[in-house]
C-alpha cells in the first residue's frame, strides 16, 4: 500500500493507463500547465503535448472532437474543469456519445471518459458548485462514477479508461487533498459494486462521493448513542449496486439516502423509490432522503453552509427513524 491523495491517485491511474495503451490521451483547457486543480501536473513532461493536449475555451469543440476521436479508435479523457462547464457540451455527450453505439447497431463504440469535478468548494458560488450526477444517470448509454476515496479514484478511473462506453467520471473538489491507502498493484475497479464502509443492524445509510465522509462522521456519533448503521458507498450511480442496498435494508429495515445534490429529482429519489417498490414488506419505517434545497448555491460561506447536508443533519434524521418506533 502507498498513501496518496485523491488527486495523486487519479494522476497515477492516468499515467499508468497512458503507458499501457498508446491510444489513451487527454484533452482540455490548461492541461499543459497541469490542469486547474493540478490533476495533470507533470504528465506533459512524460507524454508530450500530443497526448496531454491543450484546447481552446470551447467545451462543445473539446467534447465533439473527443467523441469523433473515440469513434475512430482512440481513448480520450476529456477534462471539463467543472461539471457546470460541461453543460456547454451536453449535446455532444448526451445526443452523440451516449447514443452512437445503439444508433449504429453496434458497429462503433465511444470509449470516452469525461472528468467533471463536482460539489461545493471554497465559496465557488452558483455556477461552479453544482452536483449534477443525476442528469447523467438519467441518460441511457452513459456510465456514471462517483469515487469517494483515493483508492477508488485510481481503480475506477482505470476501469473508466478501459471501458468501451462513455463514462462520466465525477470527482468531488473537496476530496482533492484527501489522503488514503492505495494498493500498489494494478487494481481495476468494477462498476456497479458498492463498498460497505461500516456495518450495523439499526439503519442503512446510502450515499456517494464526498457525502460518504460526512455520513461516516454521523455514523460515529450515532454509534456513541448505541445506534449502529450500515453505511454503503455506491461508488457508481449507473450501474448502481441494488443488491447490496437490498441486502442491507433487508437486515436493518430502515433506509436513509444522503446526497449533496439538490434533493428534487436527485439520484437519491431513484434509490428511495426502488427500495420502496421492492422491499416495502421489510421496512420498519418510511424511507427518508436528505439533499440540498432547490436553490442556487451562494458565494457567502454562511449561506453556503445553509444548503449543506451535514453530519448533524444525517445523525438527526437517522436518530428519528430509529427512535420513532
- Which one of the listed residues 128, 172, 247, 278 is annotated catalytic? 128
In the predicted structure, residue 167 carries a pLDDT above the cut 70: yes
**The CATH number fitting domain 195-323, selected from 3.40.50.2300, 3.40.50.920, 3.90.1150.10, 3.10.20.30:** 3.40.50.920
Question: Are the CB atoms for 113 and 157 separated by under 8 Å?
Answer: yes
Residue 128 a catalytic site member: yes
Q: How confident is the model at residue 121 (pLDDT cuts 50, 70, 90)?
A: confident
- The single residue listed with the C-alpha cell 446526497 is 259
Tell me the C-alpha distance between 26 and 41, whole Å. Answer: 12
Greatest CA separation for the chain: 62
Contact present, 2 and 53 (Cβ < 8 Å): no
The dihedrals phi and psi of 278, each to the nearest 5 degrees, come to -100, -15
**Nearest to 180, CA basis, from 206, 221, 207, 212:** 212
Angstrom distances, CA of residue 155 to CA of 86, 159, 167, 179, 309 = 23, 6, 14, 15, 27
The superfamily CATH assigns to domain 2-182 is: Thiamin diphosphate (ThDP)-binding fold, Pyr/PP domains (3.40.50.970)
| pLDDT class of 198 with cuts at 50, 70, 90 | very high
Q: How long a stretch of residues is the chain?
A: 325
CA distance 239 to 129: 24
- State residue 325's pLDDT score: 62
CA trace torsion 165, 242, 158, 2 (10° rounding): 170
Confidence (pLDDT) at 124: 84
**For the chain, which residues make up each domain, given as ranges?**
2-182, 195-323
- Where are the extended beta strands (E) located within 226-296? 229-233, 236-238, 255-262, 288-292
Q: Do domains 2-182 and 195-323 have the same CATH topology?
A: yes
pLDDT at 293: 95
Amino acid at each position: 500500500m502507498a498513501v496518496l491523495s485523491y488527486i495523486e491517485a487519479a494522476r497515477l491511474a492516468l499515467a499508468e493507463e497512458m503507458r499501457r495503451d498508446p491510444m489513451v490521451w487527454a484533452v482540455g483547457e490548461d492541461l499543459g500547465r497541469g490542469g486547474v486543480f493540478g490533476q495533470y501536473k507533470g504528465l506533459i513532461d512524460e507524454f508530450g503535448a500530443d497526448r496531454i493536449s491543450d484546447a481552446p475555451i470551447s467545451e462543445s469543440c473539446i467534447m465533439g472532437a473527443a467523441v469523433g476521436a473515440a469513434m475512430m479508435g482512440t481513448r480520450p479523457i476529456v477534462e471539463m474543469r467543472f461539471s457546470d462547464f460541461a453543460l456547454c457540451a451536453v449535446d455532444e455527450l448526451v445526443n452523440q456519445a451516449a447514443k452512437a453505439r445503439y444508433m449504429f447497431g453496434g458497429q462503433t463504440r465511444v470509449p470516452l471518459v469525461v472528468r467533471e469535478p463536482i460539489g461545493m468548494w471554497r465559496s465557488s458560488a452558483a455556477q461552479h458548485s453544482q452536483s449534477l450526477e443525476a442528469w447523467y444517470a438519467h441518460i441511457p448509454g452513459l456510465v456514471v462514477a462517483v469515487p469517494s476515496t483515493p483508492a477508488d479514484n485510481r481503480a475506477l478511473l482505470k476501469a473508466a479508461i478501459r471501458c468501451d462506453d462513455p463514462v462520466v467520471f465525477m470527482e468531488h473538489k473537496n476530496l482533492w487533498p484527501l489522503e488514503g491507502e492505495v494498493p500498489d498493484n494494478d487494481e481495476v475497479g468494477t462498476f456497479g459494486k458498492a463498498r460497505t464502509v461500516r456495518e450495523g443492524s439499526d439503519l442503512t445509510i446510502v450515499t456517494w462521493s464526498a457525502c460518504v465522509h460526512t455520513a461516516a462522521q454521523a455514523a460515529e456519533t450515532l454509534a456513541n448513542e448505541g445506534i449502529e448503521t450500515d453505511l454503503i458507498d455506491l461508488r457508481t450511480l449507473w450501474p448502481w449496486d441494488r443488491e447490496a442496498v437490498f441486502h442491507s435494508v433487508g437486515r436493518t429495515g430502515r433506509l436513509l439516502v444522503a446526497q449533496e445534490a439538490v434533493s428534487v429529482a436527485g439520484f437519491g429519489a431513484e434509490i428511495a423509490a426502488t427500495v420502496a417498490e421492492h422491499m416495502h414488506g421489510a421496512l420498519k419505517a418510511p424511507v427518508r432522503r436528505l439533499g440540498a434545497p432547490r436553490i442556487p448555491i451562494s458565494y457567502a460561506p454562511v449561506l453556503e453552509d445553509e444548503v449543506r447536508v451535514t453530519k448533524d443533519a444525517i445523525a438527526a434524521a437517522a436518530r428519528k427513524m430509529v427512535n420513532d418506533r
